[in-house]
A and B are shown apart, each in its own frame.
Chain A
């Protein structure tokens, strides 16, 4: 018997709801609130049950039409590359600074999406981010931490 992907997702949601319900029951409420008609864990407990109820229905009821997704035509490789680039961006933004990490993030994103016009890629990365930072500092008065630019002496 083949189980459809929607049923597997619903099963995962059922497990998540059960875990949510368990965690909700573990929430420590104040002693005077334990027997109160409503405390910090009341609503989450209801949600845990509701999640299990709807996921259970989705699992038990027969499917109208099986949702078919052709994985062969989906470009997972590029999505994974982009997710890795975004994680890398998140890891470097504080240490390297906004300017360099954002510019590299854009440059790498263009590259991994198949762009090879280097002139355009460079224009829409380093100068673009510089302009963006200038607008943030100048127009909206938002300070961006940037150790590199501070070291060079461009920003104070």
Chain B
């Protein structure tokens, strides 16, 4: 492990990679501050740029964007009560009241320190958990992987879209359907191409991500007539006050951090759960840990209430890298985007990643620490200035997002068909989002489609066409039982709520 850490440090501490982390954190913070534009949009816009670098640098840049976006989301939650991403909604419960009491600087500092501590503790967990889990997952066979992917898709559909389980499952199937377009990987037989040569290589992953997130988000903003940059304008005008914490506040923050880190990391590792559930769970649990007097302060500017979700959401971000790096299966929409980008580099994440590409595996883990430090020392004091940069009018912001999306995809293929396909997918995605059809399950399914078919192919060929492979191995059976439990529970919840509404 020491050797791995040194390899990671060597790669992550190169001038180019440090610059990438700084750039990623900075860019992520900017995008994260804009309500509605979360880490997925930020990473999607970055993908075409990352293809110009080596895989380690590309992934480091994306990881920086991820943390930056989460931190940016917290900033708008605290200062103007407008969470940039769902994972920072719980932050606004106590962060915003603190800002209203004239302690905006302190609230931001608590958020930054908690994020830093949560991310760092979780990165230490990741340091130990990832290699151990990689070793275990070497014993995984095709049926286990297939079952794991079904579990991942079901869990993401269940947890990422509250009350929209069936819609999310439909989106998962749509993602898998899109992934099947193009030549079959084994036989080269064209599928669903309708004799169009442009479709024979399939649909590019970057195209789907850009269309469903960056472009459709821009269209949604126009459709609803909202102005995301108004949030930035409000932030840039805000008086922050002191960012120094007193002894009492430091003590309270230090008490909260360890327990919320553990919760955040565990929830982050679970497929589909992610930072939103982690932050709410940590907030709720913290409330039950503190004494009665502190409990009363929750929702009115409690230090515990602010530190808990902030620690947990960053710990969950690090935790979500565990299934990605060890099993090659992303646990969330954001890590699905990263998996897609890795596959684009020709790298297959999974148990062998830390043997075949140790520099990628360890440098990503090491860059997490560096990212946290940068967020703490660079972004915190610069928040009002970053917000000022961001306060560009909507009339310029939206065309720029569209420009980077369209140009990004054009520069990758130099094929105008991709531009038209992207516009088509973005228009459909905008319509679906209007009726609350969630997009993260679609992306996850699209990324996993090829791998899922490959593992099903191997499993069915080994078992000679019989579906016995689903329960032949205890591990496969256990994973499937979890899937069935999640599916049944979600179906029961939908049925119950539908009956009660009758």
Contact surface of A with B, Cβ cutoff 8 Å: 5-6, 9-10, 13, 17, 20, 23-24, 27-30, 33, 36-44, 47, 50-51, 54-55, 57-58, 61-65, 67, 69, 73-76, 78-79, 82-83, 86-87, 89-91, 93-94, 102, 105-106, 109-110, 113-115, 120, 124, 132, 136, 140, 142, 144-145
Contacts and interface: CB of A to CB of B under 8 A. Distances in A.
Contacts of B192: 20, 23-24, 44
B187 interface: yes
A75 B437 contact: no
B403 A44 contact: no
Contacts of B423: 83, 86-87, 90
A58 B170 CA distance: 9
Contacts of B416: 90-91, 93-94
Contacts of B402: 82, 86, 109
Size category, B interface: 35 or more
Contact of B399 (A39, A91, A106, A136): A106
Contacts of B184: 40
A44 B177 contact: yes
A21 B204 CA distance: 23
B52 interface: yes
Contact of B169 (A42, A54, A115): A54
B395 A110 contact: yes
A57 B398 CA distance: 37
A92 B25 CA distance: 36
A40 B188 CA distance: 9
A124 B403 CA distance: 12
9 contacts: A13-B170, A27-B189, A40-B184, A61-B495, A73-B224, A76-B223, A91-B416, A120-B396, A142-B411
B177 A87 contact: no
Given A47-B173, A54-B166, A61 B494 contact: yes
A110 B169 CA distance: 38
Contacts of A115: 393, 395-396
B170 A75 contact: no
Given A39-B187, A86-B419, A90-B423, A78 B163 contact: no
A8 to B, nearest CB: 9
Interface string B216-243: 0001001111000000000000000000
B414 A145 contact: yes
Contacts of A73: 224-225
Contacts of B14: none
A78 B224 CA distance: 11
Given A17-B173, A38-B456, A6 B498 contact: no
A6 B167 contact: yes
B180 A43 contact: yes
B448 to A, nearest CB: 12
Contact of B173 (A50, A74, A90, A109): A50
B460 interface: yes
B501 interface: yes
Contacts, number: 167
Interface stretch (B79-87, B321-329, B340-348, B427-435): B427-435
Interface string B160-204: 000100110110011011001000101101011000000000000
Contacts of B457: 38, 42-43
B398 to A, nearest CB: 6
Interface string B440-479: 0000000000001100110011011100000000000000
Given A51-B170, A115-B396, A69 B434 contact: yes
Contact of B187 (A10, A29, A37): A29
Query: Chain B binding site: helix, strand, loop or mixed by DSSP?
Result: helix
A89 B406 contact: yes
Contact of A40 (B189, B225, B394, B434): B189
Contacts of A105: 399, 403, 406
A106 B403 contact: yes
B488 interface: no
Contacts of A29: 187, 189
A111 B476 CA distance: 57
B187 A61 contact: no
A57 B495 CA distance: 11
Contacts of B427: 83
A47 B150 CA distance: 13
Contacts of A144: 411
B406 A69 contact: no
A69 B431 CA distance: 11
B435 A67 contact: yes
A3 B417 CA distance: 36
Given A43-B456, A63-B501, A64-B163, 13 more contacts: A9-B431, A24-B192, A44-B180, A47-B180, A51-B177, A54-B166, A58-B166, A63-B498, A82-B398, A93-B416, A93-B419, A114-B395, A120-B396
Nearest to A91: B416
Contact of A87 (B166, B222, B420, B497): B420
Contact of B494 (A23, A64, A69): A64
A70 to B, nearest CB: 10
Contact of B398 (A17, A113, A132): A113
A148 B411 CA distance: 18
A105 to B, nearest CB: 7
A140 B411 CA distance: 11
B410 interface: yes
A102 B402 CA distance: 11
Nearest to A145: B414
B10 interface: no
A95 to B, nearest CB: 10
A113 B192 CA distance: 37
